[in-house]
Amino acid sequence: MSRKSQAVLRSTNPEDYQRVPRAVAAMPKDFANGSEIAPHRHRRAQLIYATAGTMRISTEEAVWVVPPQRALWMPPGVRHSIVMSGDVTMRTLYLRQDAAAGMPEVCRVLHISPLLRELIVRATELPVHYDERGAAGHVVALILDELHREPSLPLHLPMPRDKRLHRLCSALLAHPGNQRTLEDWAGWSNASPRTLARLFMTETGMTFGAWRQQARVLEAMGRLGGGQAVTDVALDLGYDSVSAFSAMFRRASGVSPSAYRPSR
């Protein structure tokens, strides 16, 4: 391997991986709890994935929470930011335009199978300028095949464009356990309850109650993925009992809260 290839392999600068001519470039990078990546965009499509820790990824359109069992497909050119919950072991893929053909043209949460997880980890161990006709090329081909098979999951939170509603939603994201009613928020927003209710449906396609519950589910996923106890998360998010929180979480996500906690 040339010195240039070795330097790129050790790089933790995403821009270095944008210039790699191979179909897929895999970047390993670790982050401490609470780390933030400022808003940015990439020329290549990206699969944002971490084998440990949880990420909250935001665009102008929506917010996603991505635990280790999931990844976020990010099309090229989409401006986004990331906040880490727990120590995050990021293993992200950058895909050349032809390699990304057939993938969603918008952000989507994807399930990560055990096979795909191991393939992604293996890709980060390959030389950046790998032999596309050799064994490394077969690994990449398998990754692309698996990516096209993985189903999309509805784990996002639409963000409104209306300034009043965006301010309200941002406040709820900062404190998702807030128990204020829509009437309470109306006084805070200088808008009538009817106006806010209409804006929620028009701008997000969800009612106020449904939007707040989804915000709590995503916040819970992040906290649970960071190792917080189920009881602490339930109480912090405004639930009177762990059983009520667990029932809500299972209805919304299909699994129990403990399924999102890291294995010991």
pTM of the model: 0.78
Query: Which residue, chain included where needed, has tokens 């399930």?
Result: 111
Question: In the predicted model, what is the mean pLDDT of the chain?
Answer: 88
CB 92 within 8 A of CB 27: yes
* pLDDT tens digits along 187-245: 898 899 999 999 999 999 999 999 999 999 888 887 887 788 999 999 999 898 999 99
pLDDT of residue 86: 82
* pLDDT tens digits along 34-62: 899 999 999 999 999 999 888 889 998 89
Q: Give the integer Cα–Cα distance in Å for 220 and 40.
A: 26
CB 53 within 8 A of CB 260: no
Q: Give the integer Cα–Cα distance in Å for 54 and 221.
A: 8
pLDDT of residue 185: 94
* C-beta atoms surrounding 217 within 10 Å: 21
Domains recognised in the chain with CATH numbers: 3-153 (2.60.120.810), 159-260 (1.10.10.60)
